[in-house]
Structure 1
Amino acid sequence: MRNHSLSFKLTAPCDMAALPLVLAYVREAAVLVGFAGDDISRIELAVEEAVSNVVQHAFLEDDEPSAFDIVCEQVTLGLRIIIREKGIPFDPGKAPVFEQGEDMEHVSARGMGMALMRQTMDEVAFHNLGTDGKETRLVKYLPGKSVHPGFEAQVQDEEPVESALDPRSAGSAPAPNTPPNTPPDSPPDTPKDMPPNTPQAIQTPPPRIDYTVRRMTADEAIEVSRSAYKNHGYTFFNEVIYYPERLAEMNAAEEMISAVAVTEDKEFMGHAALVFEDAAARTAEYTFVFVNQAFRNQGCMGRLARFLLTTPAMRPLAGVYSYSVANHVFTQRGVIKLGFRDCGILLATSPTTWKFKGIDEPGTQRISVVLSFVYLEQPSPRRIFAPLHHREMIGRILENIGAPHVLASPPQKPPSLAAQASRIDTKVYPLENCAMIKVHGYGSDSVREVRRILRELCLKQVAAIDLFLPLDDPTTCFVTAELEKLGFFFSGIQPEAGRGDALILQYLNNIPFDYDKVQVFSDLARDLLAYIRRLDPNENL
């Protein structure tokens, strides 16, 4: 009969009253593996310190889901204990380090606890897990080489316990380019932006404080992760935000430009960033915007955005785009004040599980976003081949964003595509349950290939699918109607999308959707929403 390695899991409430139960569970697991005497006491001491850290420091508010898991696993010649929770992100590199001979009065309880864990266990590591929170790993090896007879190690290629902030975890995070359903920014900073029935509208404005806006330093990346957690829990659309080491790497590589607001007392107030899709991109997304609730109504969002829009990047930028949630108008109003202009609406791109702390909202359907754009340099006029039935709306959008382009008449016959192969990219964003299809070049099989991709995505139950078509190619005038027969419908345009502007079509995959719950701010966005609603085949069944 084959022997199997020990593996147990206990879920405990975030309460020190549960500590005796946790220690009893860990003690029995240690005995089963083969530990005895002082080694069991050392394991219990390390677990007590780790659990105390979770109970005292991991959760900020009473309404948070304050429970944690303790996993005991037999590893080769020892025991691994994992304490896993979804509390606020933590950077062990910034924790106080206790040195032998140091004055005990000047060492924090957390610093002492970590020192005890490292003294009593053979390996101690802390891992960020993205949207799954974080974990502490403790490993103790048996003295000698004997293993308890009932549990000989059967594990092959055992995964080692890594050093703090596992780089492989960071490597598993999503690519820095973000899907077209970002970001659920913090609410605006001035009381006049709040509707009269919100608590902020009736509060006395807080006193103004002095603060600095500047580029983020590497050691401040953990504060960005913590800020994301404070504003959205672990529901943010891109889990890279929960890996501070990855944020620091992206900034060092200029894949991302982060700006932070910091008080004179070094308190972290907020963050915003420009994120580039790739090294050749001449546009960036304004995203990852957080202002901690204690510092709202101080003008942080405006100053962060102006800093990013006026600070030279390593390469010249044609423009910046932003996605603002449409279950309230706070962020839409804020970006318009900064000079952005609306050019599209993407429906149901994000799940209802997104949290917006500090904003009371029902969250009864998938979240839609408004796409906005601002030019940083005047574009050269070029020809836009708009499908005739969308020509008027596309013209209005181009005028709204200040584009000098000319709406060209399509040729009488479709261009010949017999010898060309389609160039189409597809990206799926699992956290959002949405996908993006980009047509870079048409071929004779373009419609058939889009149909095939659409079918695959629908079978995977992807909720919302966005399709981007090049407006500098006259073929778009002829292909659009064929794609609309598949169930796609007009959504707007994305300026400066690669080689030029792109027409956006959208497909909703059998999801309930109520247009009356979508809130938009600008006149163009209201007209565009009504236009989209008239064309949506789901609305006209």
Structure 2
Amino acid sequence: KEVELKYRLMTAADAVSMARCMYRSYGYSYGNDFVYYPEKVKELIKSRLLHSCVVFNPEGELVGHLAMMLDSPDAKVGETGMAVVDPRYRGHGIFKKTKLFLVDYAKKNNMAGIYSEAVAVHPYTQKGNISLGAHETGFLIGFTPSTMFFKKIEKQQRTKRQTTVLFYLKLADDEKKVCPPFHHKAMIKKIYEMSELNRKIEKAEHNVLKDIDEKSQVDVKVQTEPGRAFMRVSQFGKDVVELIGFRLRELCLQKIDCIYIDLPLSHPMTQQICAPLEMMGFFFAGIIPEMFDGDVLRLQYLNNVDIDFEKVTVVSDFGKELFDYVVKAHERELSV
């Protein structure tokens, strides 16, 4: 039967109740383990990097949660995640309502959009995103560790890492110039068209190297528990490919399973270094609009990870086309 539920913005006082709700749904299997530590959650809320919608039943018990994470307090896009619904309250449309709550909140704060990673072990989260107007922009192969388990959705524990689908929901848009690698241009253009993003695709000049510094800057963020690492080129230099290769070797020696690198599509160097990075073993993942003051091209690297592509669930026709593109890019990487 229909239950009257209350939706509101999360406060630091809700951190313990949220951790309990996460445990009821996932046990201790959730990839980002900070969700089980209320003090860490409180700190993120106070620093304005975590904005969540929480759901309460008539008894005042927290039974649902969806977070929007920001890279900085003034970021133009947020990442929604940490979606949880108490198993007793599934089937009440809670995910969609929490997402709508955060969409409205993001609009009021003049944000450009919201992106998220939807699991591909079941269709429900993907369907929820699509019903809100979000579109697929990529696939992160092996993003979710095998230890993550959905109570009352999955019948048995998985043995291999699982894939997630990148979704982007546009809230506002301005025309931007982008320089995608030539061999990925057609697919990137199609992703922009599907998401109704106004982008002008340009070709990089051949002498782009003469206008950049000697030294590059590559930022690295490691998530040890789920076995993931994220690299970001924040400054291009003439040594960028060499530096990325060095960082990649370090992460592989740390036995990080999945390694991602974000390249700014506004910079012409991205067009030129994509192929050398693919020779290292990186392959196409997708794009994330407005990620760091502009769109990024995300490449991915699997560190001896075995993936069962037959168990990936993809809902939409375009999603299936994009997934096939990513799988073929992975196959090309294996043949190098």
When the two structures are superposed, what TM-score results if normalisation uses the length of structure 2?
A: 0.94
Alignment correspondent of 2:201: 407
| Paired residue secondary structure (2:7) | strand
Deviation at 1:515, TM superposition (A): 1.8
Alignment correspondent of 2:218: 424
1:367 aligned onto 2:132: no
- Out of 512-521 and 446-455, give the one that drifted further: 512-521
Alignment size in residue pairs: 334
1:297 aligned onto 2:91: yes
Query: 1:15-74 CA distances to partner (integer Å, 9 max, x unpaired)?
Result: xxxxxxxxxxxxxxxxxxxxxxxxxxxxxxxxxxxxxxxxxxxxxxxxxxxxxxxxxxxx
Alignment correspondent of 2:238: 444
Deviation at 1:418, TM superposition (A): 6.0
| Paired residue secondary structure (2:159) | coil
Rounded to whole Å, the distance in 2 between the matches of 1:461 and 1:217 is: 36
Query: 1:108-160 CA distances to partner (integer Å, 9 max, x unpaired)?
Result: xxxxxxxxxxxxxxxxxxxxxxxxxxxxxxxxxxxxxxxxxxxxxxxxxxxxx
Match runs of 1:6-45 below 5 Å: none
Alignment correspondent of 1:329: 123
Letter in 2 for 1:284: G
Deviation at 1:490, TM superposition (A): 0.9
| Paired residue secondary structure (1:527) | helix
| Paired residue secondary structure (1:334) | helix
Rounded to whole Å, the distance in 2 between the matches of 1:361 and 1:343 is: 29
Contact 2:283 2:333 in 1 (8 A): no
Rounded to whole Å, the distance in 2 between the matches of 1:418 and 1:310 is: 41
| Paired residue secondary structure (1:500) | coil
Alignment correspondent of 2:81: 287
| C-alpha spacing 1:314/1:303, structure 2 compared with 1 (3 Å) | closer
| C-alpha spacing 1:313/1:418, structure 2 compared with 1 (3 Å) | closer
Higher RCO (C-alpha under 8 Å, 6+ residues apart): 2
Contact 2:257 2:303 in 1 (8 A): yes
Contact 1:254 1:314 in 2 (8 A): no
Query: 1:278-337 CA distances to partner (integer Å, 9 max, x unpaired)?
Result: 223221111121110111111211111111111258843111111111122221111111
Equivalent of 2:313 in 514, 519, 534: 519
Contact 1:534 1:540 in 2 (8 A): no
| C-alpha spacing 1:532/1:325, structure 2 compared with 1 (3 Å) | same
| C-alpha spacing 1:313/1:246, structure 2 compared with 1 (3 Å) | farther
Rounded to whole Å, the distance in 1 between the matches of 2:61 and 2:217 is: 49
| C-alpha spacing 1:409/1:419, structure 2 compared with 1 (3 Å) | closer
Rounded to whole Å, the distance in 2 between the matches of 1:415 and 1:496 is: 25
| Paired residue secondary structure (2:140) | strand
| C-alpha spacing 1:516/1:538, structure 2 compared with 1 (3 Å) | farther
1:211 aligned onto 2:14: no
Rounded to whole Å, the distance in 2 between the matches of 1:395 and 1:412 is: 22
Contact 1:286 1:322 in 2 (8 A): yes
Contact 2:76 2:293 in 1 (8 A): no
Rounded to whole Å, the distance in 2 between the matches of 1:412 and 1:218 is: 52
Match runs of 1:140-155 below 5 Å: none
Letter in 2 for 1:366: R
| Paired residue secondary structure (1:395) | helix
Alignment correspondent of 1:496: 290
When the two structures are superposed, what TM-score results if normalisation uses the length of structure 1?
A: 0.59
1:350 aligned onto 2:172: no
Alignment correspondent of 2:192: 398
Rounded to whole Å, the distance in 1 between the matches of 2:325 and 2:11 is: 45
Unaligned runs of 5+ residues in structure 2 are none
Match runs of 1:45-444 below 5 Å: 207-311=1-105, 315-362=109-156, 363-377=158-172, 379-416=173-210, 419-444=213-238
Letter in 2 for 1:316: N
Query: 1:251-278 CA distances to partner (integer Å, 9 max, x unpaired)?
Result: 3442212212222332322111211112
Query: 1:424-482 CA distances to partner (integer Å, 9 max, x unpaired)?
Result: 10111101111111112211100111111111111222111111111101111111111
Rounded to whole Å, the distance in 2 between the matches of 1:437 and 1:361 is: 35
Contact 1:533 1:539 in 2 (8 A): no
Letter in 2 for 1:382: K
CA-based RMSD of the aligned residues comes to 1.9
Rounded to whole Å, the distance in 2 between the matches of 1:261 and 1:501 is: 32
Deviation at 1:411, TM superposition (A): 2.0
Rounded to whole Å, the distance in 1 between the matches of 2:49 and 2:317 is: 34
| Paired residue secondary structure (1:416) | helix
Rounded to whole Å, the distance in 2 between the matches of 1:415 and 1:229 is: 51
Alignment correspondent of 2:327: 533
| Paired residue secondary structure (1:220) | helix
Letter in 2 for 1:471: L
| Paired residue secondary structure (2:231) | strand
Contact 1:466 1:507 in 2 (8 A): yes
| Paired residue secondary structure (2:214) | coil
Rounded to whole Å, the distance in 2 between the matches of 1:484 and 1:217 is: 43
| Paired residue secondary structure (2:18) | helix
| C-alpha spacing 1:491/1:312, structure 2 compared with 1 (3 Å) | closer
Rounded to whole Å, the distance in 1 between the matches of 2:251 and 2:12 is: 38
Q: Larger C-alpha radius of gyration, 1 or 2?
A: 1
Letter in 2 for 1:371: L
Rounded to whole Å, the distance in 2 between the matches of 1:367 and 1:465 is: 14
| C-alpha spacing 1:404/1:361, structure 2 compared with 1 (3 Å) | farther
